[in-house]
Every structure is written in structure tokens, then in C-alpha cells.
Chains A and B, each alone.
Chain A
Amino acid sequence: MLAEHREAWERVVRHPFVLGLGAGTLPRPAFAAYMAQDYLFVDALARTVAYGIAKAPSAAEARPLAAFLQTLLGAEDDLFGRVFDELGMPPPAERRPEPLPVTARFGRFVEGVGRRGTFEEIATALYVTEGTYADWASRLVAEGRRPDDALYQSWIDIHADPALAELVAHLGLWIDAAPAEREPALSNVFRRALRHEAAFWNAFVPTRTKMREGGHG
């Protein structure tokens, strides 16, 4: 499935926003706008993971998802708090941010897969949302890109964590174990999730500030 969607995947994991993050050239306001919206998306994502636990074939599949949900609502939620603090943004409870259309659409999509989809469909949606993050972050680390901005670095580090790669490996195994006749449905979820992911990054690329793509010129 990854081979089938390779081009779209690459466009996401090598998105100008991601490269700007790695190079440290991404303007802070763009990062702040992205974080505020991503925080809203994580609510939908967490609910999707919870549906995945509820629909897991057995406790063996439920456990890694439950551990991931702990990270999402624990460490990642804490990081959001620290980032908002550092960016001088009031906490979300006071700020009450409105989701942009792109965020609302993406959130509705994943939560819809969670509510209505099969376990394998949920695994596929999460493979895209988590797999692209694990991939872009670990590539930036492997390439030795260390932005001067500590906030950007911590956002890279939390996604380059081996625990996330491990979750993605589990998701991959579960998707691969699905019967062949399910593949078109799963491929459809994969394609749509990638499209939402790309649209999400696109929404936060600064249009007036030219970024040096790839950085480190």
C-alpha cells in the first residue's frame, strides 16, 4: 500500500513546512498557527485511537493503542502546553480556538473512520497520521538537521521517538494481515488520509515569507 501511494507520501513527509521546521527557517507565527490547529485535531485523533482500542480483535492489539493514547493525552498534551506557553499563547481553555475548515474536515474524517470503520480501517488511518510523522521526524534527525529553535526541536524529537515507530510497525502488521479483499477499502482510507495530511500542512505554509527549502543552503 505504501508503494502504491509513495509519491503522495513523499510529498507529505518532505513538505516545505516540515523542511522549514528542520532548518529552523519556519517563521514562528506559522508554527503557532499550526500548533493551535493541530491541538484541535489531536482531540479527534485521540477519539479515533479510543475507537480502535474498542474495536481491537483482542487485548494484544488493544495494548499498543492504549499505550499510544496515553502518550497522546499525556506527554504530547504537556508539550502542547509548554509550546503554547513559550509562544505566549493563552491555554486552549481560555483561548477557545475555532477549527479552520481544513482541521474540521480532517478531524471529521479520522473520527468518522473511528466510529464507522473496521479495526483495519482505523489502523490504516492511524498508519498515515502517525507513520508520516514518525517518518518526517526520523528523517530530519537522520539528516542531522537540528534547528536552533528549541521548540521546533522538541516537536521533532517527540515524533522521532522509537515508541512511535514501534506503534507504526504494529499498525503495518495489522494492515498486512487483513484479507486481500479488504485492500481496496483500506487503500481508499490510506489515500484520503494522505490527502487530508497534505492539505493540513499546506494550510500553514507561509505564503509571503519565502522559505529556503531544505535549509542549510
Chain B
Amino acid sequence: MAERLTDKLRAAASAVWDAQAEHPFIRGIGDGSLDVERFKHWVRQDYLFLTDYARMLSLAAARAPDLDAMTRLAELAHATLTTEMSLHRAYAEEFGISAEELERERPAPTCRAYTDFLVRTAATGSFPELVGALLPCMWGFSDVAQALKRGAQPADGRYRAWIDMYASPEFAALAGWCRELLDRVGAGLPPSELRAVEDAFVTSCRYEYLFWEMAWKREAWPV
């Protein structure tokens, strides 16, 4: 059987992929040593990320090649705006972050750069390029959380809940669906277009890494 496009992409991104799992933020969730202030920064920024993520999913629905993909992408946009954002608000509350505080939050440089990259690729790239940029967010989270799930669990129940959420079979199924979509729409593309897909994929992987880094450093605009 021919190698899957998404396996090739992951191989191309292996350095940054492996670096994610080794990042002190991720290791800190796993062993429970992560300073809660760093984690709260992630919670607030990820809430902002979700709104733009829904924009990206909607652009994907608008440009989807068929009704099935359109329907699934529209469902994901809807679930992100409703269920996911409301779960996120409830989760933030466990850290003493109020809904008002979440709404007041402004994107840090990396959050801004990543979401701008996603929305820009969704608006101006080819559809396979768009899916290439989308996939690392689902697949990376799923992969990182599953690795943490295999190890010893942190004492803090809030960190355990985080691992459980992203290590869930539902989340893995979502990543699996997105992989299949990219394998399908990326099949038979000419090399120049494949390079653009790979570039989008690797760039999103890098931003995934930087998003952990942003939270770890509690990044803010210098001026």
C-alpha cells in the first residue's frame, strides 16, 4: 500500500513534532509541575484561538469540494462556537478565570500570528493547503495528549482532565477524519502544490510548538 500523504507530512515535520512532546509546558502538564499561571495564560489565549479557528473551519466549509466535507466542517465550526467554547469557559472558571476576563483578553503575538496564518491560508490558499494548515492542530493535540495519557498521571485533577479531553477517542477520531480528508484531497497533486501543502503543514506544526512556548513564557506584546 502506498504511503499516506499525511505520513509523509508528519515525517517532514518530525523535528518540530518531537520537540512539542518535549516542551517543558507539555512535560509540566504530564508530571503536574507546571506553574498554574503559565497554564492560565494558555487557557485565556486558547479561548481566543477558538473563535478564529471557527472562522477557519467556516472558510473550509465555504470552499469544500463536496457536500459531505462541507457538512462535517460546518458541524465542527458550530461545535467549536458552542460546545467547545462553553466547555472552555467552564474549565477556565476552575482556574478562577471569569467569563468577563476571557472576553477581555487580547491575543498575544504568537496567538495572533498563528490565527492570522490559519485564516490567511484558508482565504487565499488551495483547499488541500487549507487542510494541511488545519491538521496539526487536531493531530498534534491528540498525539501529545495520548503520549501523556500513557505515562503517570498528574496529581492536579485539572491537568488530568486536560489530558483526558484531548486523549479521548472522539478527539482521535476527529484527527483521523482530518487526516483522511487531506489524504483524499491531496492525492495526485502536482509537486509544486504538494510543496505548498507541506509548507502549510510544517508551518502550523511550528506554530503549535510556539503556542506552548507562548504560554510557558507568558508572552505579551513588548510595547
Contact indicator A53/B67 (Cβ below 8 Å)? no
Point out which of A43, A66, A114, A115 has the most chain B C-beta atoms below 10 A from its C-beta.
A66
B74 contacts A73, CB within 8 Å? yes
| A134 touches B (CB below 8 Å) | no
Query: Smallest Cβ distance from B121 to chain A, in angstroms?
Result: 13
Set of chain A residues within 8 Å of B73, measured between Cβ atoms: 50
B168 close to A (CB within 8 Å): no
- Chain B residues within 8 Å of A1, by CB: none
Contacts of A47 in B (CB 8 A): 61-63, 70
What are the residues of chain B within 8 A of A48 when measuring CB–CB?
62
In the complex, whether A79 has a CB less than 8 A from a CB of chain B is no
Cα A67 to Cα B78 in complex, Å, equals: 6
22 A-B pairs whose Cβ atoms sit less than 8 Å apart in the complex: A46-B70, A46-B74, A47-B61, A47-B62, A47-B63, A48-B62, A50-B70, A51-B58, A51-B62, A54-B58, A55-B55, A56-B55, A59-B85, A62-B81, A66-B54, A66-B82, A70-B75, A70-B78, A73-B67, A73-B74, A77-B71, A114-B62
Say if the beta carbon of B51 comes within 8 Å of chain A. Answer: yes
How many Å lie between the Cα of A114 and that of B62 in the bound state? 9
Partner of A54, one of B62, B71, B75, B82: B62
Residues of A within 8 A of B (CB): 43, 46-48, 50-51, 53-56, 58-59, 62-63, 66-67, 69-70, 73-74, 77, 114-115
Known: A53-B55, A70-B78. 14 other contacts (CB 8 A): A47-B62, A47-B63, A51-B62, A59-B50, A59-B85, A62-B55, A62-B58, A63-B81, A66-B54, A66-B58, A67-B78, A69-B78, A70-B74, A77-B71
Which of chain A's residues has its CB closest to B59's CB? Answer: A54
The 5 closest A-B pairs by CB, nearest first: A50-B62, A53-B58, A66-B78, A50-B61, A54-B58
CB–CB A59/B54 < 8 A = yes
